[in-house]
A and B are shown apart, each in its own frame.
Chain A
């Protein structure tokens, strides 16, 4: 492969690739982690075989990264018509090829449909139509294993512009003007960090990509690294040029094998092309990149822990009151940014600060990727302008609640985020609004909950997670979270005590005021935000032993209403512990001492009888049985 020795070489290559891309039909098959697990590989083999069989030589098949709608994978988009097929199986390939590829017709039962309407084109599907996909835009068209593909889409042009038309200072100014804030959670202004690293006296500086992404359920960074690794690498190169670094690192968790593989390949191909190494594109700028495979603990994503790990020590937070921009990796000035932060950089340099800030609010500019999960109809990765409302994300993109249930709350910000209730559905999703509501942006997790979720139990879940993830170094975090966890576990079992809420609030102060790192200082958020909006639920659990969401097993009971039960015996046959007694055609009864509260009887009792009910507190059953 010839090295690109100038910006002109790069532009020539871009034109050649773009020309080649114009011809014929392109089938873009998602081979991200999600679709891969759903069988993309078999679909790909079937597709290649079918095209060969029919001698369709001018059709290109591209294996791309994640399209964001993993739940409906494998996803196949036919370009240029943009017809998008969901849940594709190898068996359907011959039909897709003959109908769509050869004749431009739609295979109707494989496209998105809603309310009897068909949405054949990718950009018409409501899940995508309400998004603003800038960072993820190329994930549906790029083969992440081929640097030429990225260059054909205009990749590395931003780097060329930075190297040949802008001084490092001007690059920083452009980032500042764009208002880019860190996507790793804190929302710290990126340009301020860069400036501080640039102006530090030590000539040896580093730039680092934080790809730890330890939040359970989050995969925005994984999808960028898998689906468009060069965009992150190009961002890092521009950042390195701006701050004056000659060496950079990707820190990627080992649980992300495909992200690691694609990032490694991207680096190798960039080296071959002369986009990494000495005198990049013939300029005086030289830069090299290494990859550090992380051990994948949640706390390793914390900045001081992450740098410790790259240095070869235990990935544990350190006591350090010196800014990383003064003394970071190996004591040298260092800029650490999140994967998504870096991926925004080439867009800003290529299209300008004004274009970038045309999306978003005054204080939170640009777009943000969220991983939308939980009780919404459409789940997946969604990219929206900052300042979009929770309602837009949950209802327009997410398609509203599953099974016609009622929205109760959305948990944002990852395990140490908070729960936002329905009265704030019109709140804007930006750094400051979310913080004001007692939650946070975090890295962009969003879990939607309906009336079946008990908020005490939700808080318990996250606190239990954090208890396992606390490194245990500092006293407040280790002992505080552990105590919080035992209190919450008691409360959901109906063993709460009157002064538990005061104690929880005291621990929250201890955690936020005294912890050594951000894990401990934000660990009380799940409890504090649910106490703020759902205090009544805590009180019901403690004082009435009642769980109004009917979720906490210790506080519920199942009951068969004698007047409604026809004695069909379905529940009796299905009960896993034989807790239901009764003879055919006469009312059945649950032996509460045997019942394990699995809920099977409620599920199987035919709805025309509706004889089984779930109730809380469990003691209300006694009254019922007396009647």
Chain B
């Protein structure tokens, strides 16, 4: 019951119930790009880099591998033409903003992304939610959160939270930030539109 068999990129793989497609793919040594995923945090599914193609007979769909739990008999393609096309379009948004992030730059090269047509810069925050979720789920502190909708969304320090007794001694959220730009959380800097 506990052992699940699925097929990833033509190879059969055993996985445990509760593992995601991403876990199973990585156990095979497949390099699936991720950004908003973190091993200690619940799946968020916001960056869409980890999309893989799930084949069911003639039908197929793209799913976020970081949040899709393994099931017996799944057939998954991690780098099919359809995946490549979508991933390339996602990377076009990320790579121009995350120039300090070596993983993203490596993936951009892998998928042949060398320019971005997007005007909005996400240099200070790509809204991956890692810091927010880390604070909530690991520190159980809820000191930062998202505010605003759509392009107005940003990370903000929650009023009345425990900056003095908690944040000052922690700052873990800054280490987890994939932008590498200091300091990018707490709405100290929000993504600016280049004019």
- A: which residues have CB within 8 A of B? 297, 318-322, 467-476, 478-483, 486, 503, 506-507, 509-510, 513-516
Which of chain A's residues have a CB closer than 8 A to the CB of B122?
Answer: 479
A472 touching B90, Cβ below 8 Å: no
* Contacting residues, chain A, for B47 (C-beta < 8 A): 474-475
Given A321-B63, A471-B150, CB of A510 within 8 Å of CB of B86: yes
> Whose C-beta in chain A lies nearest to the C-beta of B46?
A474
A471 with B149, Cβ < 8 A, contacts A479-B120, A486-B119 known: yes
Assuming the A-B contacts A483-B118, A503-B117, A509-B85, are A475 and B93 also in contact, with contact meaning beta carbons closer than 8 angstroms in the complex?
yes
A476 and chain B: residue at smallest CB distance = B48
Check: B178 CB closer than 8 A to any chain A CB: no
Cβ contact of B48, chosen from A318, A470, A474, cutoff 8 A: A474
Asked whether any CB of chain A lies closer than 8 Å to the CB of B127, the reply is: yes
Contact bitstring B138-177, A, C-beta under 8 A = 1, else 0: 0000000010111111000000000000000000000000
Is B51 a contact of A514 with CB atoms below 8 Å? yes
In the complex, chain A residues whose CB is within 8 Å of the CB of B62: 513-514
Expressed in whole angstroms, the minimum distance between the Cβ of A489 and any Cβ of chain B is: 12
Name the contact of A475 in the complex, choosing from B63, B68, B90, B149 (C-beta under 8 A). B90
Q: Could you tell me if B118 and A319 are in contact, using CB atoms closer than 8 angstroms?
A: no
Please judge, given known A-B contacts A297-B149, A321-B68, A470-B149, whether A475 and B45 are in contact too, CB under 8 Å. no
Q: What are 17 A-B pairs with beta-carbon distances under 8 A?
A: A469-B149, A470-B150, A472-B146, A472-B148, A472-B149, A475-B46, A475-B93, A475-B127, A478-B127, A478-B153, A479-B122, A482-B120, A483-B118, A509-B85, A513-B51, A513-B86, A516-B64
Cβ of B180 within 8 Å of any chain A Cβ, yes or no, is no
Q: Inside 8 A of A516's CB, which chain B residues have their CB?
A: 45-46, 48, 64
Q: Compute how far the CA of A318 lies from the CA of B133 in the bound complex, rounded to whole angstroms.
A: 14
B126 touches A319 (CB 8 A): no
Other contacts beyond A514-B62, A514-B90: 18, CB < 8 A:
A467-B151, A468-B150, A469-B150, A470-B149, A472-B150, A472-B152, A474-B46, A474-B47, A476-B48, A476-B89, A478-B127, A483-B117, A483-B120, A509-B85, A510-B89, A513-B51, A514-B48, A516-B45
B68, B90, B120 pick with most chain A CB within 10 angstroms: B90
Residue of A nearest to B90 (CB): A514
* Chain B interface residue bracket vs A: 35 or more
Once the chains bind, are B151 and A472 in contact (CB under 8 Å)? Answer: yes
A473 contact from B46, B63, B67, Cβ within 8 A: B46
* Chain A minimum-CB-distance residue to B83: A513
Contacts of A473 in B (CB 8 A): 46, 127, 129, 153
Contacts of A478 in B (CB 8 A): 127, 150-151, 153
Complex alpha-carbon distance, A482 and B93, angstroms: 12
Q: B82 in the interface, Cβ–Cβ < 8 Å?
A: yes
B76 at the interface (CB under 8 A from A): no
Contacts of B46 in A (CB 8 A): 319, 473-475, 516
Interchain nearest-CB distance for A196 vs B (Å): 16
- Residue B131 CB within 8 A of the other chain: no
Verify if B111 is at the interface (C-beta below 8 Å from A): no
Q: Enumerate chain B residues within 8 angstroms of A467, measured Cβ to Cβ.
A: 150-151
Q: Decide if A482 touches B151 in the complex (CB within 8 Å).
A: yes
Q: Could you tell me if A513 and B151 are in contact, using CB atoms closer than 8 angstroms?
A: no
Tell me the smallest distance from the CB of B153 to a CB of chain A, in Å: 3
B92 to chain A, nearest CB (A): 8
Whether B16 sits at the interface, judged by CB under 8 Å, is no
Report chain A residues within 8 Å CB of B86.
Answer: 509-510, 513-514
Give the interface centre of A468, A479, A516 by most chain B CB atoms within 10 Å.
A479
Chain A residue at minimum C-beta to C-beta distance from B67: A319
Check if B43 is an interface residue, CB within 8 A of chain A: yes
State which of A318, A322, A486, A509 has its C-beta within 8 Å of the C-beta of B89: A509
List residues 10-45 of chain B with CB under 8 A from any CB of chain A.
43-45
Residue on B with the closest CB to A319?
B45
Closest 6 CB pairs of A and B: A319-B45, A472-B153, A510-B89, A319-B67, A470-B150, A513-B86
- Find the A residue at minimum CB distance from B129: A473
| A contact residues around B149 at 8 Å (CB) | 297, 468-472
Q: Would you give the shortest CB distance from B93 to chain A, in whole angstroms?
A: 5
Given the known inter-chain contacts A482-B151, A513-B62, please indicate yes or no for A319 contacting B90, CB distance below 8 A.
no
Across the interface, name the chain A residue whose C-beta is closest to B145. A314
Q: What does the 1/0 interface line of B51-82 toward A look like (CB < 8 Å)?
A: 10000000000111001110000000000001
Q: Give the distance to chain B from A9, nearest Cβ to Cβ, in Å.
A: 50
Residue of B nearest to A470 (CB): B150
Bound together, the chains give a CA A319 to CA B129 distance in angstroms of: 13
Question: Given A506-B89, A509-B85, A510-B90: A475 and B48 within 8 A (CB)?
Answer: yes
Indicate whether B94 reaches chain A with its CB closer than 8 angstroms.
Answer: yes
Q: Which of B63, B126, B146 has the most chain A CB within a 10 Å cutoff?
A: B146
- Among the interface residues A297, A471, A473, which one has the most CB atoms of the partner chain B within 10 A? A473
A470 to B53, CA, bound (A): 25
* Shortest Cβ gap from B22 to chain A (Å): 12
Point out the residues of chain B lying under 8 angstroms from A482, CB to CB: 120, 150-151
- Complex alpha-carbon distance, A503 and B63, angstroms: 24
Contacts of B129 in A (CB 8 A): 473
Q: Is the CB of A513 within 8 A of B85?
A: yes
Q: Knowing A319-B45, A479-B93 touch, does A513 contact B127 (C-beta < 8 A)? A: no
Considering the complex, give the chain A residue whose CB is closest to the CB of B87. A514
| Bound-complex Cα distance A257 to B32 (A) | 49
The A-contacting residues of B in range 100-148, CB under 8 angstroms, are 117-120, 122, 126-127, 129, 146, 148
A611 to B50, CA, bound (A): 62
Q: How far is B186's CA from A120's CA once the two chains are assembled, in angstroms? A: 66
Give the shortest distance, in Å, between A477 (CB) and chain B (any CB): 8
Bound-state Cα–Cα, A482 to B118, Å:
10
Measured between beta carbons, the chain A residues less than 8 angstroms from B151 are 467, 470, 472, 478-479, 482
CB-nearest residue of chain A relative to B154?
A472
Cα(A515)–Cα(B153), bound, Å:
17
Interface centre among B45, B51, B119, B148 (most CB of A within 10 A): B45
Give the residues in chain A near B120, CB-CB below 8 Å. 479, 482-483
Tell me how far the C-beta of B5 lies from the nearest C-beta in chain A, rounded to whole angstroms: 18
CB distance from B81 to the nearest CB of A (A): 12
- Complex-state Cα separation, A478 to B36, whole angstroms: 15
